[in-house]
Structure 1
Amino acid sequence: MTQIKSTQDLLRDHNNFGMIDGQVVFLKQGKVACLDDNGARLAKDPHNSYRIQTKPHGHGDVHSLLKYSGLLDKWCNFGLKWVLLFQDSNGLLFKAIPASLGVSSEKQYDVNSLVVSCKAKEAIGEITKLTHTDGRTVQLDMPMEMLTVKQDYPKTLSLSARADFTVMDTWLAYAPVKNNPEDVAKVPKGYPYHSATSSKMTIYRANCKILREAGCKIADPVIEEFNGQEVEVWPRIVWEPKWALTFADVKEKVHGHCSISQRSTLVIKGHNVAIEDLTLDGALIISSAEGVEDAKVTTVRGKVQNKGFIKVDNGKTSEIVRIRGFRIKDIEKKEVIYSKPENFYFES
């Protein structure tokens, strides 16, 4: 990065978003001279003709910054084996990381790029697959308009290095926040919005699909409009990483015949929580008390029905809510906070 203080202030104001001191390291990126034309003439600063215009060198600098800062040596001494590099505001990525890391380990890759399919004109760096009329295929990496990109790193490795890519379904791995509500209006119909609104909804969708694969009956989404964007609204289901990092984790903690209605909200904050024969039509929040990480399982079962949470117009409120397009109002909920392993059975 080229600006540090504003990011430091953001992290401080939000208690590092759960990370402890020392987990966040800032490496400041330098700038390089700009070229003015195809003749590679140096560009002048538009405000001072005696200065050369400079700009950041691109995110390809991350490799040299890690090396020359000494951070890589520090990580090696800690026993770390893998490094994840990403630069998108893509919260859905963390659903796909465990699987891609597993592939990297199993295949013994030196470098593994995580990719998804995209549509033409979609603003995303591409590894394309072209097919000739006779069926032969050609693969190539499309260039990006940056001086350096981190994806170039495999080109510096020896021919014996194992570099490859892993393809994930888009619904599980890619939902960036790139466009504000005004820019979304320029997105062609049928193309992803890549907005705060659509990204929020795709996280709900991913969690619902994962629970469906685990055997839960999840209601189909409905189409609603926020900030001029028509999006699928699935049941609002979220869980913390300590509950489940992988699909296998989810399978271990979901049992019996569970069903969740479209208007429902399910939040799981506990560690060893199992849901079994649960019918939810409303809002249910399951949390563990501070410091509870018991190996024994807390089981939640039965029927929960209440007025739940509703979405209301964003009105005159903060920018965070404005770019999302709605806010949630708590009407009624069932909340479970456990301090020791136990069974909860609900009857509505």
Structure 2
Amino acid sequence: MGSTSMTEKELALIEKLKQNGQAHLFKGWEELKGKDAEKKMFAEQLVTLDGQYPGGLVGYIENSKKLLKFSKDGGNPFEGYTPMKPSGIMLTLGDKKFDEMEAAGMKVIKDTAFCLVAGGLGERLGYNGIKVELPYETVTETCYLDLYCKHILALQAQARKAGATDCVLPLAIMTSGDTHAKTVDLLKKNNNFGMAEGQVVIVKQEKVPSLANNDAAFVAQKDNAFSLQTKPHGHGDVHKLIHDAGLAKKWASEGRKYLMFFQDTNGLVFHAAPAAFGVSVTEEFEVNSITVPRKPGEAVGAICKLESKDKTLTCNVEYNQLDALMKAAGYAGDEADASGFSPYPGNLNILIFSIPEYAATLEKSNGMVPEFVNPKYKDAEKTIFKKPTRLECMMQDYPKLLDSKAKVGFISLERGVCFSAVKNNAVDARGKQAKTGFPESACSGEADAYKVCRKYLKLAGCDVAVEGKTAEYNMIKTDVGAKVVLQPSFACTLAELKAKIPKPSQVKLGQDTTVVLEGEDVVVERLEMEKGFLSVVACPGAKVTIDWKGDGPTMDFVPEGKFDDSKKEFSYPEDLAEKYRIRGYTTKYSGSEDELTKHTFVFDKPGTYKVSLN
């Protein structure tokens, strides 16, 4: 090798790779002089990659060759399966069944754990940072990670009130090389957003080698022959990371029952969590997917029950595979049923697993879930790739590991209660809104944040319009109504909200109002505003009663940015922060600083207080 600094382990791995189709990586090494340091770094990278994949790099090569051949031959992973309607429960927020499931879920909250999949940056949004640091809404500027911690801590507080006095609900976060350091720093700067020491565990996802061709040849970096090109393996790695960290086994030994996986910028997810846990309990689901009604042909994966001669499984089927699967089984295709929706609900990648079975399954699979490869071919013979590919895996493919006896199902809720992704920049969001009605942008995500709170108030009996007025920001049609922020500590379930508002007929909010309520011992006796602003934030132990009737200056969205039709992009004031650019507005109080202070109440010490205006 021309290097005496390499270890026996490194030299042995290089020899194994040469014997498994990777000799091209080391061609000419013997003649290269003065490159020992570079060779050593390359060998160290190979050893690291070898240790991260079950079976090492040779195992990765073998799996790659099998899957590349399957792809080249036009293999169908669902061949022989017949699609059937999956088992599940369809709920509507506020109906009797929803209340029952929410109550059932709260009974097991003390035995739950959570996992946030947060490996993405905000580049697609037009934001140069990690997505979990973005504000969920601009009235309080609560970022997504803070919001999720608030929800978990609120559920934990409810579990403690119910008798589990020592309850601590763990949160695992999967990061990537792109997001790890910034996520750690965000938590450190904010004292873990109130989470206890050790309550948050971070697991970091690594990458796998890129593949140049059907022979699974690895690829060196274009500008550095002594560094392997790598790519993400997919969010299915979260299962292996949880397994390798011993978390599944630990949680099972602690008697925990359910684990919920959720994504980085869907702020509505925890509104569905208690009811979803309730469905998992009552239906005895080993895997439960939170879904939304899905229209035939809609570009979202579908939860399907599949039957073959040998196996029955319920899993996600990508939308571009479903229609062909239906036709191959003798059906007309992906068609609507009497409800007007597909019988196969839309997958959101919000998953709830029964922890005992999950831990046992990961032990058997070593944390791995089924992989696939998706090369883009340059030629009809499928021998040349347009660009290097890699093996991938998806978290929602975990059910494929289970046997036919496993109970796998879904809970379906209206989209505005459980799902509002924030992932598209302004230009792409306009196109998405025109095509699907859902822009999935920062401004639509914020609008949905306020709207779901208005809906909860309405269901509690309050006088507030759920639907707002339509305004345009970044040329995206946006619902603008009362800006209501009900922080999780104020109410994390509909039942709790109703208890906090004993006289709902005395809560009346006009569309030009902004209300922030935070604190587990805050009670609203009366709150009547046609327009104005009120913020009440109380620490644990601060018992606050609100009796408020009166208007005042408003908190308004101020449009920002102009669209340059020639460049097909938006331009903004140079000093406007990205978190506002991606929304197309800033939030501004119309009154004086003194007026804002008079309408902002912070109680940071335990005691009994009253907030009143008559």
TM-score band, normalised by shorter chain = 0.7 to 0.9
**Letter of the aligned partner of 2:301 in structure 1?**
G
Among candidates 473, 477, 485, match of residue 230 of structure 1: 477
Structure 2 equivalent of residue 272 of structure 1? 521
In the alignment, is the contact (CA less than 8 A) between 1:42 and 1:52 conserved in 2? no
Deviation at 1:310, TM superposition (A): 2.2
**Letter of the aligned partner of 2:521 in structure 1?**
N
Residues 274-320 of structure 1, C-alpha deviations (whole Å, 9 max, x = no match) = 223421231111122x44256xxx43224121112222244532111
Give the 3 Å change call, closer, same or farther, for CA 34–139 of structure 1 in structure 2. Answer: farther
Give the 3 Å change call, closer, same or farther, for CA 182–122 of structure 1 in structure 2. Answer: farther
With normalisation by structure 2, the TM-score equals 0.51
Deviation at 1:340, TM superposition (A): 2.5
Larger mean Cα displacement after TM superposition, 250-259 or 307-316 = 307-316
Residues 164-223 of structure 1, C-alpha deviations (whole Å, 9 max, x = no match) = 111111000111111122432443515211111110010101110111111111134111
Partner Cα distance (2:578, 2:344) in 1 = 42
Among candidates 510, 514, 535, match of residue 261 of structure 1: 510
| Secondary structure of residue in 2 paired with 1:311 | strand
In the alignment, is the contact (CA less than 8 A) between 1:33 and 1:42 conserved in 2? no
**Letter of the aligned partner of 1:268 in structure 2?**
L
Alignment of 1:139-178 (within 5 A): 139=344, 147-178=392-423
Partner Cα distance (1:193, 1:139) in 2 = 23
| Secondary structure of residue in 2 paired with 1:25 | strand
Partner Cα distance (1:248, 1:14) in 2 = 30
Alignment of 1:8-47 (within 5 A): 8-36=184-212, 39=214, 41-42=216-217, 44-45=219-220, 47=222
Deviation at 1:2, TM superposition (A): 3.0
> Does residue 246 of structure 2 align to residue 70 of structure 1?
yes
Structure 1 equivalent of residue 138 of structure 2? none
Structure 2 equivalent of residue 287 of structure 1? 537
Partner Cα distance (1:34, 1:175) in 2 = 33
| Secondary structure of residue in 1 paired with 2:515 | strand
In the alignment, is the contact (CA less than 8 A) between 1:224 and 1:231 conserved in 2? yes
Deviation at 1:344, TM superposition (A): 4.2
In the alignment, is the contact (CA less than 8 A) between 2:300 and 2:346 conserved in 1? no
- Runs (5+) with no aligned partner, structure 2: 1-174, 305-321, 348-371, 375-390, 561-572
In the alignment, is the contact (CA less than 8 A) between 1:119 and 1:191 conserved in 2? no
Partner Cα distance (1:345, 1:6) in 2 = 42
Partner Cα distance (1:205, 1:140) in 2 = 23
Alignment of 1:76-155 (within 5 A): 76-118=252-294, 124-127=300-303, 139=344, 147-155=392-400
Higher RCO, 1 vs 2 (CA within 8 Å, ≥6 residues apart):
2
**Letter of the aligned partner of 2:600 in structure 1?**
E
Partner Cα distance (1:193, 1:208) in 2 = 21
Between Structure 1 and Structure 2, which shows a larger proportion of helix residues? Answer: 2
Structure 1 equivalent of residue 234 of structure 2? 58
Larger mean Cα displacement after TM superposition, 302-311 or 163-172 = 302-311
**Letter of the aligned partner of 2:582 in structure 1?**
I
> Does residue 249 of structure 2 align to residue 2 of structure 1?
no
Give the 3 Å change call, closer, same or farther, for CA 242–28 of structure 1 in structure 2. Answer: same
**Letter of the aligned partner of 2:581 in structure 1?**
R
Partner Cα distance (2:487, 2:515) in 1 = 12
Larger mean Cα displacement after TM superposition, 337-346 or 235-244 = 337-346
Partner Cα distance (2:346, 2:601) in 1 = 50
Structure exhibiting the larger radius of gyration computed from Cα positions? 2
Among candidates 570, 594, 600, match of residue 335 of structure 1: 600
Partner Cα distance (2:345, 2:513) in 1 = 44
Partner Cα distance (1:52, 1:144) in 2 = 19
CA RMSD of aligned residues (A): 3.1
**Letter of the aligned partner of 1:256 in structure 2?**
P
Give the 3 Å change call, closer, same or farther, for CA 293–140 of structure 1 in structure 2. Answer: closer
Residue identity (%)? 32
Partner Cα distance (1:23, 1:66) in 2 = 15
Give the 3 Å change call, closer, same or farther, for CA 180–21 of structure 1 in structure 2. Answer: farther
> Does residue 558 of structure 2 align to residue 299 of structure 1?
no
Give the 3 Å change call, closer, same or farther, for CA 140–81 of structure 1 in structure 2. Answer: closer
Structure 2 equivalent of residue 320 of structure 1? 579
In the alignment, is the contact (CA less than 8 A) between 2:294 and 2:344 conserved in 1? no
Partner Cα distance (2:406, 2:470) in 1 = 47
- Count of residues in Structure 1 that have an aligned counterpart in Structure 2: 342
Residues 90-131 of structure 1, C-alpha deviations (whole Å, 9 max, x = no match) = 111111111111111222211111111346776643337989
Among candidates 221, 226, 241, match of residue 468 of structure 2: 221
| Secondary structure of residue in 2 paired with 1:63 | helix
Partner Cα distance (1:327, 1:17) in 2 = 25
Deviation at 1:69, TM superposition (A): 1.5
Give the 3 Å change call, closer, same or farther, for CA 34–123 of structure 1 in structure 2. Answer: farther
In the alignment, is the contact (CA less than 8 A) between 2:302 and 2:344 conserved in 1? no
Deviation at 1:228, TM superposition (A): 1.6
Deviation at 1:139, TM superposition (A): 4.5
Partner Cα distance (2:246, 2:542) in 1 = 35
Partner Cα distance (2:512, 2:551) in 1 = 11
Partner Cα distance (1:179, 1:120) in 2 = 23
Partner Cα distance (2:279, 2:458) in 1 = 24
In the alignment, is the contact (CA less than 8 A) between 2:280 and 2:288 conserved in 1? yes
Larger mean Cα displacement after TM superposition, 180-189 or 60-69 = 180-189
Deviation at 1:65, TM superposition (A): 1.6
Partner Cα distance (1:138, 1:305) in 2 = 48
> Does residue 425 of structure 2 align to residue 180 of structure 1?
yes
- Runs (5+) with no aligned partner, structure 1: none
In the alignment, is the contact (CA less than 8 A) between 1:44 and 1:50 conserved in 2? no
Partner Cα distance (1:238, 1:140) in 2 = 30
Give the 3 Å change call, closer, same or farther, for CA 89–253 of structure 1 in structure 2. Answer: same
Partner Cα distance (1:96, 1:210) in 2 = 12
Deviation at 1:149, TM superposition (A): 0.9
| Secondary structure of residue in 1 paired with 2:489 | coil
Structure 2 equivalent of residue 198 of structure 1? 444
Partner Cα distance (1:173, 1:144) in 2 = 31
In the alignment, is the contact (CA less than 8 A) between 1:125 and 1:144 conserved in 2? no
